[in-house]
A and B are shown apart, each in its own frame.
Chain A
Amino acid sequence: MLLSALLTGLVLGGTYALIAMGLTLQYGVARIMNLAYGDFMIAAAFGAFVLFTSLGINPLLGMIAVIPAGFALSYAIYGVMLQPLARRAKHSGRLEVDSILATFGLLFVIQGVALVIFGANFVSYSYLAIPINILGTTLAANRVLALVLALALGAGLYYALTHTRWGTAIRAVAVSPQAAPLVGIDVDRVSRFAFALGGALAASGGVVVSMYLTFSATAGVVFTMKALVVVIMGGVGNLLGALAAGLILGIVETLVATYIDTGLTLAATYLIFLAILVFRPSGLFGRRPS
């Protein structure tokens, strides 16, 4: 039972890690606190759902369409809605408040559209719901696939950000937006790109989630909150931190649900969150401000 709980926890944690990486890119680099993040995910989940149920396209292939769409849409949203805020903001605190308000509105727009098209019911589809045996425990193949996808995407992104010059430039903007222009980095452009990349990750997270969870038009908020908790646990802008914190959170939630009470998972999440805020405000792996 423990092993099965751990594996289920890893699957959930992998998804958390994936979506938290996207949010940490948007928040850590573009300095946009995106409250519509989870709704963006759900929109992608619906995208995968429609592709699968009405066109028979499996979610893996669906990703090829949904992820670039997530990138393009985020890129457009940043340009139309958020860039003006970023340009007029004199300091990052101001941009934070403005972006929270703006994306709070966006949340209701995305949710409203989803409600109109799909209604308020929970939906799901059955893809690769074949039991497979891992180390003596049975797990649905779609969950294993979800974990593999989350880890592969996360690792790919991490590699790109640490081993390419444009990846290093993105991290440079996260570390010091004031210093970035000194080496010729256009902070505006990099921010927009990072926001769009975060949107692409949200979209991939949405597709992954749709493979093994039921979801509804109003389920986005939960994912925004979870991603936010993971980002703060891992330290804002810290990708490895997001990865580790996501896995930890997934495992803790599943253990609590298995051994204590399903109703307490959210409570456990916020207990961890609170403990981190009180004792390590810059995150598990974050540096204390000097």
Chain B
Amino acid sequence: MLEVTNLSLHYAQHLALEKVHLSLNQGETVVVLGANGAGKSSMLNVLAGRIAPDKGTEVSFLGSRLVGRKPHEFPEMGIALVPEGRGIFGDLTVAENLSLGAYVKHARAGEAERLGMVYELFPRLAERRSQIARTMSGGEQQMIAIGRALMSQPKLLMLDEPSLGLAPVLVLELFNALEKIKRTGVSLLLVEQNVKVSLNIADRGYLLEGGRVVGVNTAEALKQDPAVQQAFLGLPGAKSILPANDF
């Protein structure tokens, strides 16, 4: 459903992404792995229309071209992004955040049903629906961001390092929720530094290094891949890829 060809991106002189090819099938969960600065976030921001890529980049989603569209058109097309830093409306309540998730026209029908689903997925949000979002913990804010994205009835849900800044217990809880979302048929594109948990829910994975794709394989194969092991799992100096503690 998503086809990315020749995705390149420069910030002034700095090359952030170089000729990235990526594809994602309906219902598939794909994880993009890479260290800090590998270009993961830049890639999602291009795919959500928040940054314009270099000329020559082609992105198509269910047959429509995405490059050049304005960011607010993406949710209407069924692409939802949970950005790094979550991007929730801090001064609004939980319920208001979720209701804005259903701002796009196609999400208005069946809104109540989906709200019930989100509250079932994240019971914490149901308990705190009238609380101001910014007063909640990091993990709860992540739930709001994901819940809000689900309210827009996305076909493709993209998440930028959802585990960042969460305590290990919360990371597991979060990925359990993602697993459930996956089972509802939503395609997931996940960018992560937390290799172990993300490979557990992914079907396929891409390795990104210095803005380039250096490996593509099934999640099972990547788990066994010595290159992945070396780059991300348990080598000295690889400490920084583990999730930081909740602050």
Asked if A182 and B99 sit within 8 Å, CB to CB, the answer is no
Among B48, B76, B100, B152, the residue within 8 A (CB) of A169 is: B100
Asked if A185 and B92 sit within 8 Å, CB to CB, the answer is no
Stretch at the interface among B83-91, B162-170, B236-244: B83-91
Q: Which residues from chain A contact B92 at a C-beta distance below 8 Å? A: 168, 171-172, 175
Measured between C-beta atoms, what is the minimum distance from B86 to chain A in Å? 8
Give Cα distance in the complex from A184 to B75, angstroms.
5
Q: Which residues from chain A contact B89 at a C-beta distance below 8 Å? A: 171-172, 175-176, 179
Residue B72 interfacial (CB < 8 Å): yes
Give Cα distance in the complex from A181 to B48, angstroms.
10
Residue A21 interfacial (CB < 8 Å): no
Among B49, B71, B75, the most chain A Cβ lie within 10 Å of the Cβ of: B71
> If the complex has contacts A168-B99, A169-B100, A172-B100, are A186 and B70 also in contact, measured as CB distance less than 8 A?
yes
Q: Do most interface residues of chain B lie in helix, strand or loop, or is the interface mixed?
A: loop
Q: Which residues from chain B contact A185 at a C-beta distance below 8 Å? A: 72, 100, 103
Q: Which residues from chain A contact B81 at a C-beta distance below 8 Å? A: 182
Q: Which residues from chain B contact A169 at a C-beta distance below 8 Å? A: 100, 103
Give Cα distance in the complex from A168 to B148, angstroms.
14
Q: Do most interface residues of chain A lie in helix, strand or loop, or is the interface mixed?
A: helix
Convert A161-176 into 0s and 1s, putting 1 for each residue whose CB lies closer than 8 angstroms to a CB of B.
Answer: 0000100110110011
Convert B49-84 into 0s and 1s, putting 1 for each residue whose CB lies closer than 8 angstroms to a CB of A.
Answer: 110000000000000000000111111100011010
Interface size on B, residues (CB 8 A): 28
> If the complex has contacts A182-B75, A182-B83, are A175 and B100 also in contact, measured as CB distance less than 8 A?
no
Among A165, A171, A183, A187, the residue within 8 A (CB) of B152 is: A183
Residue A287 interfacial (CB < 8 Å): yes
Asked if A175 and B70 sit within 8 Å, CB to CB, the answer is no
Asked if B103 and A183 sit within 8 Å, CB to CB, the answer is yes
Among A165, A175, A182, A185, the most chain B Cβ lie within 10 Å of the Cβ of: A182
Give the contact-size bracket for chain A: 10 to 19
Among A171, A175, A186, A287, the residue within 8 A (CB) of B72 is: A186
Residue A54 interfacial (CB < 8 Å): no
Asked if B76 and A175 sit within 8 Å, CB to CB, the answer is no
With CB as the reference atom, state the residue of chain A lying closest to B82. Answer: A182
Residue A133 interfacial (CB < 8 Å): no
Q: Which residues from chain B contact A184 at a C-beta distance below 8 Å? A: 72-76, 103-104, 152
Among B73, B75, B90, the residue within 8 A (CB) of A183 is: B75
Give Cα distance in the complex from A178 to B71, angstroms.
10
Residues of B within 8 A of A (CB): 48-50, 70-76, 80-81, 83, 87-92, 96, 99-101, 103-104, 148-149, 152
The list of the 5 closest CB pairs from A to B, nearest first, reads A184-B75, A181-B71, A179-B87, A184-B104, A181-B72
Residues of A within 8 A of B (CB): 165, 168-169, 171-172, 175-176, 178-187, 287
